[in-house]
A and B are shown apart, each in its own frame.
Chain A
Amino acid sequence: MAGRREGDDGEPGGVLAGLGWALARDLRLAVRTRSELAVQLLFYAIVVTLFPLATTPERTLLMTMGPGVLWVAALLASLLSLPRMFALDQADGTLEQMALSPWPLPAIVSGKILAHWLTTGLPVVLLAPLAALQYGLDGEAIAVLVAGLALGTPILSLLGAIGAALTLGVRGAGGLLALLVLPLYVPVLIFGAGAVDAVRAGLGADANLSLLGAGLIVAALGAPFAAASAVRIALD
């Protein structure tokens, strides 16, 4: 799957310029609408708080559930902000210009994905230690949780971008996006939450974290192209 651009593919300057431009633009937009970012973080905090209320405050059980709950909450928080990734640009016509620009579209999409991670994934990574304390996880488990989230949440943004582009301007996009994207998140969830479980079981999290890292590389190399072709499909 090559990003079918006419003239200038293979020119590294174009790739970096496109990525940087989209990144800067989306970060600027995010700062302007920072209350929405706060809403996503609050959402994460509330979901994490609901689970003990729905089950039990008992410590051993919370420690068992904790990694899974924190990861599921991270998936949902990432999902919540996905529809915005392309929809705003499509509404004001910027997306059309991006597709016509001399920069390769996959590079621009990569910039938008990076911006999405910086504004929604990274805050969750930073908030996770606090939430982990609520679940009674100890220092090593928290370190592995954070490492796993740091490697895994970018994959969520990468895969999510494909879903966001495919559901662009489609009927019932929000629910559909969840149906498309959540099954694809399964391996990330398993390796991420599994890393913390492995540490708690005394097995070491190296294998899980390596798999997440490999997944991140593969997703970073593939997803922008798939998302870019999905954007083109949505535009014509």
Chain B
Amino acid sequence: MGEFLSMGGYGWYVWMSYGACAVAIAAEFVALRARRRRALDDAQASGVDAEPLRAGAAR
């Protein structure tokens, strides 16, 4: 395991690369979820007083 992590002495470079990619993708995923939640909250806030609600719900 230690041998795998050391990557033949190149561990710093290899894991900084892969780590950054993992962190970036995870961060994008979290940011997307947060944005969706925010959008839903806003949609709800503005949807309550929107009168065509009933017409849409009847669809």
Q: Classify A-B as touching or not with yes or no (CB < 8 A).
A: no
Q: Could you tell me which B residues sit within 8 Å of A by CB distance?
A: none
